[in-house]
Amino acid sequence: MQHHYRIAILDMNAGQPNEGMRCIKMLVEQFLGRDDIQGDYRIFDVRVHHEIPEVEDFDIFIASGGPDSPKPTGEPWEKKFNWFLDSIYDHNLLEENKKYLFLICHSFQIACLHWKLAKVKRRKSTAFGIMPVHKTKKGKEEFVLEGLQNPFYAVDSRDYQVVKPRKKRFKSLGCKVLCKEKKRPHVPLERAVMAIRFSKEIVGVQFHPEADSEGMMRYFKRADKRAHIIKHHGKKKYEDMMIHLDDDDKILLTNRTIIPKFLQQAADAIDHQTPVTV
């Protein structure tokens, strides 16, 4: 007698091949493969086929990263995705059986824009590599970050950044900044926001917690990627990244911590609010 968890994965990659979806599916399958868990998942192609899950049909949602600007351009899927964000938020305000949502990178930026929480702007240069991420005071108390050092390490890959969080808006919605990007004392720029707890049920990150060393190794070994990194960031950066990929305390630990803890937290909360079904 167990709850049957229904998980929706929103693919935001616009049809571009990527390692992120493989990693998200693997983490969800590992979770559903546990002896004490029953459930299934379905993938929705948001940007190519304009597929959006019905909030009522699922318990847990994970929205992936993706390419291009997070700013609206009038694509039909954008309205649908914003409607989806509001549907989950409104459902949780009104209903006892809560819905749980995890937002990654591109999805996270769209949510910050849609809920008017901060500015999202293009970076001077692409943030790319295995970067330290610093927990805020609130981040040190956050369940999904428990077990990670401060700073912890994550794969960062973005042309845009979330900056200038609107404090009044954060306060009125009950949102919390959990992480910021690495300190850059020699750069006179504000540190970007790297993770937000939007509500008890919704959390999002700017980096890629799903990334695993196998996928990153494959990605970075591609001749075009290797040449691009060396050209833009130097050979030392490339070699450092390759070394860090297999460190147990770097992206492997992040991969095994954040999304698994989000899924566990959601499952525990759902168990407490729903009568057990066969």
Residue 275's pLDDT band, with cuts at 50, 70 and 90, is: low
Q: How many Å from the N-terminal Cα to the C-terminal Cα in the chain? A: 5
H-only helix segments in 143-186? 167-173
- Within 10 Å of residue 23's Cβ, how many Cβ atoms? 22
Instruction: Give the confidence band of 78 by pLDDT, cuts at 50, 70, 90.
Output: very high
Q: What mean pLDDT value characterizes the chain? A: 91
| CA distance linking residue 227 with residue 24, whole number of Å | 27
Alpha-carbon distance 39 to 58, whole Å? Answer: 10
Most confident region among 121-125, 176-180, 247-251 by mean pLDDT: 176-180
At 204 the pLDDT is 98
* 148 in Cβ contact with 209 (< 8 Å): no
Task: Please state which of the ranges 49-63, 122-136, 238-252, 261-275 shows the lowest mean pLDDT.
Answer: 238-252
Q: Report yes or no: 107 and 13 within 8 Å, Cβ to Cβ.
A: no
